[in-house]
């Protein structure tokens, strides 16, 4: 059963975005990073990962190396409150690919 957009939890929304990213060819999952913060995690070609968050005004990410240390960050202009799952996934896709995201089958 589909939950109406206004009734989705942050976890459900993050899982839907991760699923949409998988559909667009990325390896994506969600992770509770503590304090009720749910991130969308995308592996990078260098062994690190991109941790997307949607808790700010716009979607942003921390780029982590293989040791879990943050090496950079990504800012987008995409509103984090957007309920358009597909458009949000596409916005994260482009920024993720520019920052070394692993593509499925590559």
How do the domains of the chain map onto residue ranges?
Answer: 15-98
pLDDT in tens, 90-99: 999 999 999 9
Sheet holding 29-32, edge to edge: 29-32, 38-43, 49-53, 58-64, 70-79
Q: What is the mean pLDDT of residues 38-45?
A: 95
At residue 105, the pLDDT reads 66
What is the average per-residue pLDDT within 64-91? Answer: 94
pLDDT band at residue 1 using 50, 70 and 90 as cut-offs: very low
């Amino acid at each position: 059963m589909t939950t109406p957009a206004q009734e989705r939890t942050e976890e459900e929304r993050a899982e839907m975005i991760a699923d949409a990213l998988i559909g667009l060819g990325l390896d994506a999952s969600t992770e509770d990073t503590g304090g009720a913060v749910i991130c969308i995690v995308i592996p990078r070609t260098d062994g690190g990962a991109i941790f997307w968050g949607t808790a700010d005004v716009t979607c942003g990410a921390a780029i982590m190396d293989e040791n879990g240390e943050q090496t950079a960050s990504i800012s987008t202009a995409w509103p984090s409150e957007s309920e358009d799952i597909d458009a949000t996934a596409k916005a994260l896709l482009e920024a993720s690919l520019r920052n070394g995201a692993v593509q499925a089958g590559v």
